Amino acid sequence: MRTLSLVFFLLSLTFCRKEPFDFDLKIALPSDPAHLDPLFITDLSGQKLSKFLHQGLFSRDPKGFQSPWILTSQKIPHPNREIWRFQLRPAAPALEDIRFSLSRLVQESYPRKGDYQFLLAVRSLSENQLELEFQKGTMETEWKEKLSLPFASIIGKEEWERGVLHSYGKYKLLSWKKNEFLDLHLQKESDSDFPKKIRFLILPQSSTSLFLYRKGKLDAFKLTDFLLSIPEANQESTLTKRGRSVQYIAINQNNSCFDKHFRTALNLAIPRHLIIQKLLENHADLTYGPIPLNYIEKISKGEVHQEQTYDKNLAIAELEQSSCYPKIKTTSLEFRMRGDDENQTKGRAIKQALEEIGLIIKLRPMEKAPLYKENGEGKGDLTLLTWYSDFDSIWNFLDPLFHPEKMGNGGNRSFYLNPEVGRILNKPSKTDKDALQVITKIKEDKPWIFLWSIQENYLVSKEFLRYNVLADFL
């Protein structure tokens, strides 16, 4: 008992000491961002920070694509290229910063380089004129969409060459102490809709975040499924985001034993409804293949599609038709996932379902960095992963995750190779019909065990709720 008292005393010294600086808000991140370089922001923590720090030539809102820095734009006639010329406003970043940032999209290698192959050249014509050259046939909506993503954000060239981040978003970075915190300061202090100073604390364990929240030392953090029943998680203090993610199990396509019958068996073996109801307490939604239902309903005129079917007997029958049966039943299959309690619990439920059709499954919880690194190298048989969309488009759930040229860390983590899907994804102008065609093919091929779309729930303080606009930043 005295030992427990000592532990709580030490915790109080650690978490309740007075901060040397005052912050308007403190927000928890579950992991330290790997990069703040826009080209390499691929993890969720980095994506969230990019909303605060970064700004591109364009931004997207419900009315379409806007630019705070472009005064006029003009399409220049050319027989073989799409060329656009922009007159910049006096308040825009230095033209050299814009040219430097967008030129990196053409010249450097980075995980999402395939998304920007349509951009051929970036030229500065005068002190305030910029010219962009695109592949012939590139639609205006496509290049505006891609230039509004975090990867195309503008940074200061001179500062970058000195190893300093100069961003043009709502906030600037004051300090970054690895695995501990990041401090941000509002660029324009006159903007009263936003807090002036925010500290992002790196807190991998949600139990630590809850402890700080209850002590009044934290204003927002993401709730795990197992904290949704706490008294504080009431309607007033919980913000819920739906349809922005898909959770799935990548089936390693490099293994010839994992043929279509095997992959079909795995998909039929998972009781999604039961897991969502009992384990996730209905805080997840079914998907249509790899797509959240809200997206498929938009492009299919509101028609509700049938979700994946659970059928244990049919799963066993499909397994028996797979090319490596019956040897596959005596082969230990490695099932990898993040090592936190939430992912391991989901992993154990899925493991039980797969074992019920006769497979041998070995769970391997891992730290985030080696999990993603080794998955990108093609290691592991089955890997539990989550994809959070970068922007509001059905193509953000299709292109990065299934493009044959983006295998491994580029997004296609199941190493799915389908030339017909690649051909459609490479089209400079794509339609809803194209999207439905890609989804149908992916559903047939089943490179994943399709699971569900996670509901993201955030516990927020009254101080956080004072700033209504911040809800869109989570």
What distance in Å separates the CA atoms of residue 330 and residue 358, rounded to the nearest whole number? 9
Sequence-distant (6+) residues with CB within 8 A of 77 are none
Tell me which of 8-12, 48-52, 347-351 is least confident: 8-12
Write down the pLDDT at residue 2: 36
Segment 198-217 shows an average pLDDT of: 95
Does 325 lie in the same domain as 191? no
CA nearest to 334, candidates 259, 271, 403, 258? 258
Q: Is the pLDDT of residue 11 over 90?
A: no
Which of 40-54, 247-261, 359-373 is the most confident on average? 247-261
Q: Is the pLDDT of residue 319 over 50?
A: yes
Is the model more confident about 305 or about 448?
Answer: 448
Does 297 lie in the same domain as 234? no
Q: Which of 161, 192, 226 is the last residue of a domain?
A: 161
Q: Is the pLDDT of residue 13 over 80?
A: no
Does 273 lie in the same domain as 228? no
Residue 1 binned pLDDT confidence (cut-offs 50, 70, 90): very low
Cβ atoms of 273 and 414 within 8 Å: the answer is no
Does 64 lie in the same domain as 48? no
Does 443 lie in the same domain as 373? yes
Does 249 lie in the same domain as 237? no
Instruction: Write out pLDDT tens, residues 136-179.
Output: 888 898 899 899 999 999 999 999 999 999 999 999 999 999 99
Write down the pLDDT at residue 306: 62
What distance in Å separates the CA atoms of residue 53 and residue 65, rounded to the nearest whole number? 19
CB atoms within 10 A of CB 7: 10
- Report the alpha-carbon angle 285-145-423, nearest 5: 80
Does 322 lie in the same domain as 275? yes
What distance in Å separates the CA atoms of residue 28 and residue 35, rounded to the nearest whole number? 17
Please check whether residue 232 lies inside any domain of the structure: yes
Does 281 lie in the same domain as 215? no
| Total domains, the chain | 3
Please check whether residue 3 lies inside any domain of the structure: no
Cβ atoms of 374 and 31 within 8 Å: the answer is no
Please check whether residue 273 lies inside any domain of the structure: yes
Q: Which of 145, 161, 177 is the last residue of a domain?
A: 161
Please check whether residue 10 lies inside any domain of the structure: no
Write down the pLDDT at residue 307: 60
Does 405 lie in the same domain as 361? yes
CA nearest to 206, candidates 14, 471, 459? 459
Which residue has 């402890």 as its token pair? 211
E runs forming strands in 381-447? 382-388
Does 69 lie in the same domain as 211? no
- Report the alpha-carbon angle 39-104-369, nearest 5: 25
Residue 133: CATH number of its domain: 3.90.76.10
Q: Can you tell me whether residue 134 is helix, strand or coil?
A: strand
Q: Is the pLDDT of residue 17 over 70?
A: no
Please check whether residue 11 lies inside any domain of the structure: no
Domain that holds residue 127: 59-161
Write down the pLDDT at residue 162: 95
Does 343 lie in the same domain as 290? yes
Instruction: Write out pLDDT tens, residues 322-356.
Output: 999 999 999 999 999 998 888 999 999 999 999 99
Type of residue numbered 207: S
Please check whether residue 313 lies inside any domain of the structure: yes
Q: Which long-range contacts (CB under 8 A, 24 or more apart) does 233-239 make?
A: 233/457, 233/459, 237/459, 237/460, 237/461, 237/465, 238/457, 238/458, 238/459, 238/460, 239/457, 239/458, 239/460, 239/471, 239/474
Please check whether residue 14 lies inside any domain of the structure: no
Does 426 lie in the same domain as 305? yes
Residue 436: CATH number of its domain: 3.10.105.10
